[in-house]
Amino acid sequence: MLILASASPRRHELLAQAGFSFQIHPAHIPEDPLPDEDPIVYVTRLAREKAQAVFDELGDPEAVVLGADTTVTLDNHILGKPEDPGDAARMLRLLSGRTHRVITGVAVVTATRAEVAAEVTAVRFLTLSDEEITAYIVTSEPMDKAGAYAIQGRAARWIPRIEGCYFNVVGLPLALVATLLESVNA
């Protein structure tokens, strides 16, 4: 049985949309980056730690646990979830008129192995006015999102182009997930 080690409604929706049968068992681990930790190392470490924690909690040797973690980076600096509306505004001003990277680490843990990988997508933002940023923050949409925006929500109007996997930016690169699941089941 596939277990999703995440409480993210977006990951749940994407996995269901792709036709996977699974249960949800969120992981509860600290998510702070280590000092000077590379963003790809950071998200793959968290994905593996989440999947391993849930696998260990379940105690079921037949379980296949999927963990994931997504971050936004600009100039190799991690932009996590905003702490408050002011932090969300700061992040959106940083992203305005620039291209940033969205990185998702994915891990699949079973009793006999762990497969870990990352997906990277470049996202271009239009230049945002202070009024647009303020109006967006009032919707509360950016408050639980890495980088303070949701590509599948209102922020879509500011993204003229991406290079890479759209689903990665939403929070779960489905083709990568399918590849990792196939490799552990082979």
pLDDT tens sequence across 119-133: 999 999 999 999 999
**Weakest mean pLDDT among 27-31, 92-96, 177-181:** 27-31
User: 35 and 97 in contact (C-beta within 8 Å)?
Assistant: no
Residues designated as active site: 69
Q: Average pLDDT, stretch 157-178?
A: 98
Q: pLDDT of 28-42, one tens digit each?
A: 999 999 999 999 999
Model pLDDT, residue 38: 95
HEC per residue, 83-152 = CCHHHHHHHHHHHCCCEEEEEEEEEEECCCCEEEEEEEEEEECCCCCHHHHHHHHHCCHHHHCHHHCCCC
Q: What is the residue-averaged pLDDT of the chain? A: 96
Q: Determine which helix (DSSP H) or strand (DSSP E) holds 79, and give its type and residue range.
A: strand 77-79
Model pLDDT, residue 185: 81
Please name the fold of domain 2-185: Maf protein (3.90.950)
Model pLDDT, residue 172: 97
Which residue ranges make up each domain of the chain? Answer: 2-185
